[in-house]
Amino acid sequence: MKETKFIEQNREKWADFEQMLREDRRDPEKLNDLFIQITDDLSYARTFYPNRSVRVFLNSLAQRVFHNIYRGRRFPAERLRLFWTDELPRIMWESRRALLLSFAVFVLAFGIGVVSSMINPDFARIILGDEYVDMTLANIENGDPMAVYKDSGPLGMTAGITANNLFVALRTAIFGVLASIGTVFIMLYNGVMVGAFQYFFVEQGVFWESFLTIWIHGTLEISAIIIAGAAGLVAGSGLLFPGTYRRVQAFQITMRRGLKIFIGIVPIIVLAGFFESFLTRYTETPDVIRAAFICTSLFFVLWYFVWLPWHKARNGSFRATSLDKELPPSREHAIDFRNIKTVGEVLSDVFTALSRHPRTTLLGLFATTAAFAAWAFGFSKKDTADTFSYPDVPAWPLDILGGLGDFFGNETTRGLYFFQIFLLAGLAVAAFRALEQEMDSEERPAFSPGRALLSYLPLLLLMPGFAFGLESLSSFLGVLLSWAAFPFMALWAAVIYFETINPFVALGRAFRLMRWGPAMGLGLLTGALNLLFFMFLESPIWDMTIELFSWFVPPAEGAMAAFSTIATTCAAGVLMYLFFLITVLSGGLQYFSFREVGDAASLREDLEQVGQTRKIRGLARE
């Protein structure tokens, strides 16, 4: 049968099927028949028209039918089982040197904490704080050294402790992206703190009681921190030792392995929080039972994370897998504006645009930050150190992130809000221009200053919400803005820039195109990513970085405070503008994806080209 005849016979049926899928009617019987007929047509097309567009079209339609039928399918239990019984032990065996190094760094830091406490009796106060030390001393005088574990309700205590421990472990693992240096610093800090903490009870003569109480949960908690350190070292090893891979590819592989290790310790951290809240408080339990419990926890950690990987490797019982297959061959990634994309694909395209247009995006980030800092400090009515106030000891919730409201309306700097509007407008236009450069020349909209300025209108309306959302991103309302308002406003701006210059028509179009599920998912990811970035400024690593470059600062009075304020402001500005840039880019990319969902323009165009392509000896001419 000729291809044109085949298309004519089935065109109406395919159009009906498309309409059925577009209206989301999930009649099981009809969907089942649909899937069978489409796959039959696809098989026929693969046999007789393998190089024709009709095969591509039918393959796309079959995929849509399959996903419609199997939407909501549960996560395969077998895959979950294999992760815990095979994949995680294999990764731990391959990462055994990183685990040993993490343990050695922690032990070294623990020893430093102990020796420092022996040399300086006030060292525990420096590390633990006067409030905690005074409270513990009062508990010791009252005959109950571990009373701190009995002050709170177990349920609320479990949630708070687990969240804090997960945050510490995640920060330890994530900071491996700094070529593993960040992880080493955090491991040193935690080790010194634990060493000083434990020796404090030795000094007070209650070592045995503190040991049997603290290590009921501390065995799992500290083990998880050490394993998180191994995850961070693994994550950063790709940057330091890429081997035969390109450095970017090696980093992708090691980062993936590090995140899998972190996922493996999440149940351990949750269990440790449960033990600390519900079991540690029973200090009257016989010593033998508490010691046996500690030994059991230690035995489990050593068995699962050390012995089991070694045993499976020695017996060759790991499933046949190859790390070389974790990444596809290196190839230039082109942004496709004609396909429907998942949240992960949109975010991947965002970073592709950032990396491929550094003069437009990355250079724009630093230029915008420099202009902001020059205006903020140059027109400030106060001294440099007092223009922006940052806490001496940052704590959760993120204090520096909470102070970003001053970046938009600082009373000490004249006109900062309006200058910020100008900077963000330029950054938004730069983001859309970067996407334009990725498009085919015939698809690019004609650039005009009016279109660019009007596209900023939604983002201008978002300015107060953007300021408040950044300031309170760790609160529920701030997260809600990040999830919903930011993606929609960016989509509205993209409709104005790429489709219609009328902002009111564009608003209605944005509402029709908006898919809240994917948009809110992308907003959640970008918000969480921003929080991770700002964790760096809340960590001891930033303080160490400031101290590292302090020798550049002249010895004049107040110079160090001014330097610290300027450096922190510039770092926070880069992260804030990066978040804004990612939000605008993701809105632009989601516009093209949502447009394809609503209009199917590319699919219809491909269908119209079926049977019209020029041939060379029976094959489609490219």
The phi-psi region of residue 478 (left if phi > 0; otherwise alpha if psi is between -120 and 50; otherwise beta) is alpha
Nearest one of 137, 147, 150, 143 to 203, comparing CA atoms: 137
The pLDDT mean for the chain works out to: 78
503 and 427 both lie in a single domain:
yes
297 and 354 both lie in a single domain:
no
Q: Are 172 and 230 in contact (CB under 8 A)?
A: no
123 and 66 both lie in a single domain:
no
Residue 174's pLDDT is 76
Residue 324's pLDDT is 42
Residue 307's pLDDT is 95
Give residue-wise pLDDT tens across range 360-409.
777 888 899 999 999 988 888 888 888 887 655 444 334 555 566 677 76
**What does the block give as tokens for 459?**
């983002």
Residue 111's pLDDT is 94
pLDDT exceeds cutoff 60 at 178: yes
User: What are the residues whose beta carbons fall under 8 Å from the beta carbon of 589, sequence distance 6 or more?
Assistant: 335, 341, 346, 349, 350, 353, 435
Is position 388 within any domain?
yes
pLDDT exceeds cutoff 70 at 287: yes
pLDDT exceeds cutoff 70 at 510: yes
172 and 299 both lie in a single domain:
yes
Q: Are 542 and 571 in contact (CB under 8 A)?
A: yes
52 and 121 both lie in a single domain:
no
232 and 300 both lie in a single domain:
yes
The phi-psi region of residue 389 (left if phi > 0; otherwise alpha if psi is between -120 and 50; otherwise beta) is beta
Is position 84 within any domain?
no
Give residue-wise pLDDT tens across range 58-77.
777 776 666 655 554 444 57
Is position 472 within any domain?
yes
Torsion over CA: 579, 584, 585, 587 (sign) = positive
Is position 370 within any domain?
yes
* Burial class of residue 306 (count of CB atoms within 10 Å of its CB; 0-12, 13-18, 19+): middle
Is position 418 within any domain?
yes
Which range is least confidently modeled, 37-51, 101-115, 293-307, 461-475? Answer: 461-475
Last residue of a domain, one of 55, 73, 91: 73
Residue 385's pLDDT is 80
394 and 477 both lie in a single domain:
yes
277 and 372 both lie in a single domain:
no
SS3 616: strand
163 and 201 both lie in a single domain:
yes
Whole-angstrom distance, CA of residue 474 vs CA of residue 480: 10
Which position has the higher pLDDT, 173 or 545? 173
Which range is least confidently modeled, 21-30, 238-247, 288-297? Answer: 21-30
Residue 422's pLDDT is 82
Give residue-wise pLDDT tens across range 429-479.
888 888 888 887 767 766 666 666 666 666 666 555 555 445 444 444 555
User: What is the residue range of 40's domain?
Assistant: 3-73
Average pLDDT over residues 130-143: 85
Residue 539's pLDDT is 67
pLDDT exceeds cutoff 70 at 333: no
pLDDT exceeds cutoff 60 at 584: yes
Percent of the residues in the chain that have a pLDDT greater than 70, as a whole number: 75
Whole-angstrom distance, CA of residue 447 vs CA of residue 453: 11
Residue 194's pLDDT is 92
- State how many domains the chain has: 3
387 and 525 both lie in a single domain:
yes
252 and 293 both lie in a single domain:
yes
**What does the block give as tokens for 340?**
């429907």
Is position 137 within any domain?
yes
Highest mean pLDDT among 71-75, 259-263, 324-328, 546-550: 259-263
Average pLDDT over residues 469-497: 67
49 and 176 both lie in a single domain:
no
Residue 93's pLDDT is 93
Last residue of a domain, one of 275, 304, 333: 304
Last residue of a domain, one of 304, 333, 354: 304
pLDDT exceeds cutoff 80 at 569: yes
**What does the block give as tokens for 534?**
């700002």
Confidence bin at 7 (pLDDT 50/70/90): confident
Is position 328 within any domain?
no
Average pLDDT over residues 164-182: 76
Is position 611 within any domain?
no
